[in-house]
Amino acid sequence: MRTAANIESLLPELEHCIADDLEDQDLDFKQWDTQSRDKAVRTVVQMAVCMANGGGGTVVFGVADRSQGRESAILGVPPEIDINLLKKAVYDQTDPKITPVFEELAVPEGTGRLLLMQIYPGMPPYTDSAGRGTIRVGKDCQPLTGTLRRKIGVETGETDYTGEAVSPVDNQLLSATALESLRNQARKERAPDDLLRLSDVDLLSTLGLVKQGKLTRAAILLAGTEAAIREHLPGHNWTFLQMTSDTDYGIREDRVSALPLSIQRIEELLVPFNPITTYKQGMFHYEYRTWPEIAVREALMNAFCHVDLRIAGPVMVKLYSNRLEISNNGGFIAGITPNNILHHQPAARNPLLVEALTRLRLVNRSNLGINRMFSALLIEGKEPPQIREIGESVLMSFPKRDLNAAFRLFVAEESEHGRNLGVDELLLLQYLLQHPELDTGTAAALCQRSEAEIRERLSAMESAGYIEHGGTGRGAYWCVHPDLYNRLAEDGQGEARRRIDWEAAKTRVLSILMERARRNEPGLSNKEIRQITRFDRNQARRLMQELMQENASLQKVGERRWARYEYSNAREY
């Protein structure tokens, strides 16, 4: 949901982009149809249904979403349009009834009036009075098909497959080994002792997994025997493959086992390929694996908790020479995508199962699991997981990378001084260690934040001495502070270099100039070059003279303090 102040702060962006670029899951811009009031009202009703099914949001009427420039885009809504009549039209023409909230926003362009329709989250599915409906998916309103209706049922918990009671309580259906493993894993996560000391049936009952004297599918998934799982959860199984190529494998294991035993066995299979290595640096002794245990555990729990058990097919774990892949059937729900997963409100496909695991502290409902996974990899100087939705399945891939000892030491020392780096800061620093510079748009996409939010974080990082910026306005960019870059850049022996040598400085400046030319942005001034290299004025001037002699695409534009160095042939780049 966006406030009027939020929308007002977005409108200046229309000078540089079209409204469609500003739209999101919870925000849409619509031009008002001045030719037909009936069509305009139908659009209002349709957008109310779309947003209500998509979790709520804001629709701004009076803005053309394909025109650039405020005057061209902001056309406004005629002053005679009555808000109360629109509210009544939406209420009368929707089922179940939707009660929108309308706000007016005064603007200098067009009719001088925009209308904001706020749709609050409810209990979908919603349709119009004729039974037609759409649902907000990303920036689009998609038809509310049977598949999407079923998906809404999953998201609202109305069709929780794991929550169905399937068999009278019978100890013959329960696995003592699975329950022991469940308790051991929960104990490591410091679950309440009084909960873990309960008898098997009392434990499952207290977790809400027994309904009216019957075991739910969630109970059998957590503590059932193989025979019970095969009978009541035929879609649950997993496969581990140690791939020797894209088509061949060496080790294979297929199993049907309770969730805690599945997690335990997969982790055992990974141990030979994910050994512990110790790195010593002064008072710090680090034990690390190629893939941090916490990241693997979170990924496995995600896969088993969010799998669609009605779709036949295993949770798949594939170990390649250069990556680890974990995938499960069942795509994202509730508007979650790979591009917003870091901060989206969590949603469970199997809510009863997730609720039980939450009480055992084996999963987290506050969406901290994904952040922990990212953080565990990033603090070791490794890439975060690559998350993809492929049809009706989700795949998480972990590239195989070595520890960046200098970066790990830096994070530890910052923590010792009370400066704990979050996922945003880690993502931005890792990006800047591999790229010469970063603009606001790229930073926002990388951290899955709005540009306003990311500017605050970049500013805080600059104040902390991690980064520094050049340029102004939309041409602003950020680089790693040279002192930190010198500290974190590694040589062949893994020790931090203390300075950027002359050739490295030339390479870095040239890379920035080429990147800025590719984006059609201004080049660099002498002052900005000094910021990047930490050279004095004369050294920077001499550096650029050498670069221009070596590269005909470089040229100096302007004189004295207005002089800038430009890379003129972006096509070469």
Q: For helices 423-434 and 440-447, what crossing angle results, to 10°?
A: 130
Residue range 181-191, pLDDT digits in tens: 999 999 999 99
| The residue count for the chain | 573
415 falls within a domain: no
Final residue of a structural domain among 211, 232, 253: 232
Which stretch of 181-190, 215-224, 519-528 has the lowest confidence by average pLDDT? 519-528
Q: How far apart are CA 566 and CA 554, in angstroms?
A: 6
3-class DSSP assignment, residue 137: strand
pLDDT confidence bin for 284, thresholds 50/70/90: low
CA atoms of 159 and 330, how far apart (whole Å): 14
- 134/46 same-domain check: yes
Q: Is residue 430 part of a domain?
A: yes
549 and 468 in a single domain? The answer is yes
**What pLDDT is attached to residue 158?**
57
Final residue of a domain: which of 155, 185, 220?
Answer: 155
The domain of 186 spans: 161-232
> Among candidates 214, 213, 228, which has minimal Cα distance to 259?
228
> DSSP readout, 431-494?
HHHHSS-EEHHHHHHHHT--HHHHHHHHHHHHHTTSEEEES-GGG-EEEE-HHHHHHH-B-TTS
- pLDDT at position 437 is 79
Buried/exposed code over 73-87 (b: 16+ C-beta within 10 A; e: otherwise):
bbbbbeeebeeeebb
In a domain, 13, yes or no: yes
The answer to whether position 205 is within a domain reads yes
Instruction: Please check whether residues 143 and 170 belong to one and the same domain.
Output: no
Provide the pLDDT for residue 495.
Answer: 35
Statement: residue 157 has pLDDT above 60: no
What is residue 489's predicted lDDT score, i.e. its pLDDT? 64
CATH classification at residue 151: 3.30.950.30
Whether residue 364 sits in one domain with residue 476:
no
Give a yes or no: residue 217 inside a domain.
yes
The average pLDDT across 77-84 equals: 95
User: What integer is the mean pLDDT of 2-6?
Assistant: 92
Tens of pLDDT, residue by residue over 380-411, are: 999 999 999 998 899 999 999 988 888 988 99
CATH code, 492: 1.10.10.10
pLDDT at 61 over 60: yes
* Together in a domain, 252 and 384: yes
Arithmetic mean of pLDDT, 152-170: 79
- Please report the pLDDT score of residue 224 as a whole number: 97
> For 349, phi and psi rounded to 5 degrees?
-70, -35
Q: What is the pLDDT of residue 264?
A: 97
**What pLDDT score does 529 carry?**
87
95-99, 112-116, 446-450, 499-503: least confidently modelled range:
499-503
Indicate whether 404 belongs to any domain: no
**C-alpha angle with apex 524: 518 to 528, nearest 5 degrees?**
135
Phi/psi for 332 (5° steps) reads: -70, 155
pLDDT at 493: 34
Say yes or no: 250 and 272 in one domain.
Answer: yes
More confident residue, 22 or 1: 22
State the maximum Cα–Cα separation within the chain, in Å, rounded to a whole number.
87
Range list of H helices, 252-367: 259-270, 293-306, 351-359
Q: Could you write out the DSSP letters of every residue in 337-366?
A: -TTTTTTSPP--SSHHHHHHHHHTTSS-TT
Assigned token pair, 84:
């109360």
The reply to whether 42 and 104 lie within a common domain is yes
Q: What angle (nearest 5°) sits at the alpha carbon of residue 50, between those of residues 48 and 53?
A: 105
C-beta of residue 481 within 8 angstroms of C-beta of residue 465: yes
Total number of domains in the chain: 4
Same domain? 316 vs 385: yes
Could you give the percent of the chain with pLDDT greater than 70?
Answer: 92
At a CB cut-off of 8 Å and minimum separation 6, what does 23 contact?
A: 29, 65, 139
For tokens 């890792």, name the residue.
Answer: 430
Comparing C-alpha atoms, which of 188, 182, 369, 353 is closest to residue 260? 182
The tens digit of pLDDT for each residue in 8-57 reads: 999 999 998 999 999 999 999 999 999 999 999 999 999 999 999 988 99
- Mark whether 289 and 250 lie in a shared domain: yes
Specify the higher pLDDT residue, 192 or 331: 192
Q: Are 61 and 111 in contact (CB under 8 A)?
A: no
109 with 245, same domain? no
Give the pLDDT score at 80: 95
- Asked if residue 432 has pLDDT above 60, the reply is yes
**End of a domain among 206, 232, 258?**
232
- 295 and 441 in a common domain: no
Task: Give dist(CA 544, CA 548) in Å, integer.
Answer: 6
User: Is the predicted pLDDT of residue 232 greater than 90, yes or no?
Assistant: yes
411 domain residue, yes or no:
no
User: Rounded CA gap, 303 and 317, in Å?
Assistant: 10
- The answer to whether residue 118 scores a pLDDT higher than 70 is yes
| pLDDT at residue 60 tops 90 | yes
Residue 37 lies in a domain: yes
Same domain flag for 17 and 108? yes
**pLDDT value for 368:** 75
Q: How confident is the model at residue 473 (pLDDT cuts 50, 70, 90)?
A: low
Q: Mind listing the pLDDT tens digit for each residue in 301-357?
A: 999 999 999 888 899 999 999 999 999 998 888 778 899 999 888 888 899 999 999
